Structure 1
Amino acid sequence: MLTAQMRDLIAHHSLGLVATVTPEGAPAVSPKGTFLIHDDRTIAFSNIRSPGTVRNIARNPAVEVNFIDVLHRTACRIRGAARLCTAAELPDGLHARFTEKWPQLAGMMKGFVLIEIADAKFLRSPVYDIGEEADALARHWSAYYKSLAEG
């Protein structure tokens, strides 16, 4: 399901915006900064401070996650079913990858969410349709965000 292009985007932009459904049936979106790819059909994040997301998933496992490369104006949209689990329930080696990548957060990880991918799409901004190129977009948006940071 995940292409090499999607895997690369997620690896470099691991902040995923997770959409769930509240008990009242309303949409809820929450950023999660600890995503890892397990395989081409499974991604996961750690539950650090996610009470609403965890509650929503326990009631309705349907999720959508968006990963965005703001510099190149591309994204990856993933739909699937989420499952709450403990460190012991993670696939082999995945817990170690979480604690190696985010050692400062390891003690705060209350559990994990595995997402079995049902559909994944790579998205590109419409500016590519009018001839914009990735390198030029990255230069432009890098300069823009740098100017914001410098105030």
Structure 2
Amino acid sequence: MYQKILITTDGSAVSKHTACAGVKFAQQMGAEVLVLFVAPEYQYPVYVEIIPPSYPIEEEYVETMQRTGSDHTAPILRSAQQAGVKHAAMTAFANSAALKIVQVAEEESCDLIFMGSHGRSGWGQLLLGSVTNKVLSHTQKPVLVHRLIQEPGA
């Protein structure tokens, strides 16, 4: 039914549990997975006339976020490898994670987007799920929203 599943992660414990559930789902479907981490785009300081020396340059920021993306996707890739699921990962940059998820799903010809009902976001529980809601409203692809019954470690 599904050949290629896009699994999203933001690096949180909830997201990692959801992603591993996505890998199990892909294994059952006989599908491959593409694990996606979306990092915010580089922001220049706008309220200062001189950039502080401690502020990272764009290249340093990109390298750091690529490493962060690799760190966040590595356990999911290990899970896919152990399950015998064909896998790949990517880190993308965008100010809107939801729109980037939709774009990557289109560009990479994914049949399904697998994501959690909650992840990690600025104001905790108030905004948790906002990325999922935005993906649901901006894509025509099927989205499987995974919901944890209890927090990891609970």
The TM-score range, normalised by the shorter chain, is: under 0.3
Higher relative contact order (CA 8 A, sep 6+): 2
Report which of the two has the higher share of strand.
Answer: 1
Report which of the two has the higher share of helix.
Answer: 2
